[in-house]
Amino acid sequence: GDTGAVAIGSGLGKLEQLQQITMKFNDTQVGDPGAVAIGSGLGKLEQLQQITMNFNGTKVGGEGAVSIGSGVGNLKQLQKVQMYFHGTAVGDAGAAAIGSGLGKLKQLQQIEMNFANTNVGDTGAVAIGSGLEKLEQLQQITMHFDETKVGDTGAVAIGSGLEKLEQLQQITMHFDETKVGDTGAVAIGSGLEKLEQLRQILMNFNGTRVGDAGAVAIGSGLEKLEQLQQITMHFDETKVGDTGAV
């Protein structure tokens, strides 16, 4: 639980030459005290280039995620980040801190973030979108917002952030069972059309409020991407009809 995680966090801070770290706490009793200690330790590892952190199914909440976001923001050499908070209570405060931290990492080339089945909403998604737009070297991004409170406001911010990522080659976005509708999908479509280096895209809007207008906008954006090699789009159980499918 937290006692062990606190000890690990304390030890981490002393490994100043560390370049790569993988930590998995899935389905454990680790909560905010442990995550805070780990975030504090991470912030001291200025040579770190790659980080993987799994907190799926833990008791980590906003306080722990804020600490991790703050710590990650200090790692200016970081090129790859993978963080998983599926089924936690990180909330908007945690997601916002992580988004803010990521926005400081100009060398980032790859991001994978999982906020599925959390209480993250538009405020957190807006902060992530704002952070994303600063990552001009980003080549690959994966984001899971399945079964969250994210709606059009958050999706619009993410779409706006995406359009600034001119080096992006691969994108995966999951908005299944969210409140995202046509307004958000239109913004994402608008952002996509500017990504001329994009080669692979997967987007899931299953069980959302997206209809024909959103699907048409995404289709219009995709048709401008001449480098695309692979497209996967899922609109199961949405309002999309023949107009959107055409």
Residue 169 C-alpha from the chain's centroid: 16
Residues of the chain with pLDDT under 50: 246
DSSP code of residue 241: -
> What pLDDT shows up at residue 242?
62
Residues 6+ apart with CB under 8 A from 152: 122, 179, 180, 181, 182, 183, 184, 187
Sign of CA dihedral 16, 17, 19, 25: negative
In angstroms, the CA 149 to CA 22 distance is 29
> What pLDDT shows up at residue 111?
98
> What pLDDT shows up at residue 243?
73
This prediction has a pTM of 0.94
